[in-house]
Amino acid sequence: MALIKEVNGFLPQIGTDCFIAENSTIVGDVIIGNKCSVWFNAIIRGDVHYIRIGNNVNIQDGAIIHCTYQKSPVNIGNNVSIAHGAIIHGCTIKDNVLIGMGAIIMDDAVIESNSIIAAGAVVSKNTHVTTGSVYGGVPAIKIKEIDKDLVEGEIERIANSYSLYASWYKK
């Protein structure tokens, strides 16, 4: 069973129809929506501020979600994929976003809807990623505008695939 632990009077709340891997960790002031998946070795640490996660969000293997004490919480919208090994720290991620493998999103960054953060990108503190953009690099900069093929072929496909994969584990 996953480590789901109360911290400072806050017990994580997990929505319906979620898959939570046995070796994932979820602690503190965390609210996870419906139809989400938290994969192997993922850590969601709401011990120093709150973390809010929408519906149909997948947090893949080894991802870390954390905040800055009394300063920068984490807010994640709906239909978001956080790929393997990504670090999400004290930021806001809106709806329909793909965060690539190993990407790092720093405090007070805002990732607007229908955006992609490339694998390995580092989104610096206070960066504002505009709607419909692809950002990549270190530090991350805008690479291009998203087209319909990227929205359907990457953002939607990955989110839907992880809903399918999670269903295999809930049997």
- Which residues neighbour 65 within 8 Å (Cβ) at sequence distance 6 or greater? 42, 43, 44, 45, 51, 59, 74, 76, 82, 88, 89
Phi and psi dihedrals of 13, rounded to 5?
-115, 130
pLDDT confidence of residue 171 = 67
Burial label, 7 (beta-carbon count in 10 A; 0-12, 13-18, 19+): middle
For 27-40, how does the pLDDT look when each residue is reduced to its tens digit (9 = 90+)?
A: 999 999 999 999 99
> What secondary structure does DSSP assign to 34-76, as a single string?
SS-EE-TT-EEEEEEEEEEE-SS-EE-TT-EEE-BTTTB-EEE
133 forms beta bridges with 145
Length of the chain as a residue count: 171
pLDDT confidence of residue 153 = 84
- For the entire predicted model, the pTM comes to 0.96
Residue 151: strand, helix, or coil: helix
pLDDT confidence of residue 136 = 98
Question: Domains of the chain by range and CATH?
Answer: 3-169 (2.160.10.10)
The contacts found for 86-91 with CB under 8 angstroms, 24 or more apart, are: 86/60, 87/63, 88/63, 88/64, 89/64, 89/65, 90/49, 90/66, 91/123
Chunk the chain into consecutive blocks of 10 residues (it has 171) and report each block's average pLDDT, rounded to whole numbers.
95 97 98 98 98 98 97 98 98 98 98 98 98 97 91 89 92 67
pLDDT confidence of residue 152 = 81
Is residue 161 within a helix (H) or strand (E), and if so which, with residue range? helix 157-169
Q: Which of 16, 17, 15, 20 is nearest to 4 (CA)?
A: 20
- The tokens 């046995």 sit on which residue? 22
Phi and psi dihedrals of 95, rounded to 5?
-75, 155
For 66-101, how does the pLDDT look when each residue is reduced to its tens digit (9 = 90+)?
A: 999 999 999 999 999 999 999 999 999 999 999 999
pLDDT confidence of residue 151 = 82
What single-letter DSSP state applies at residue 100?
P
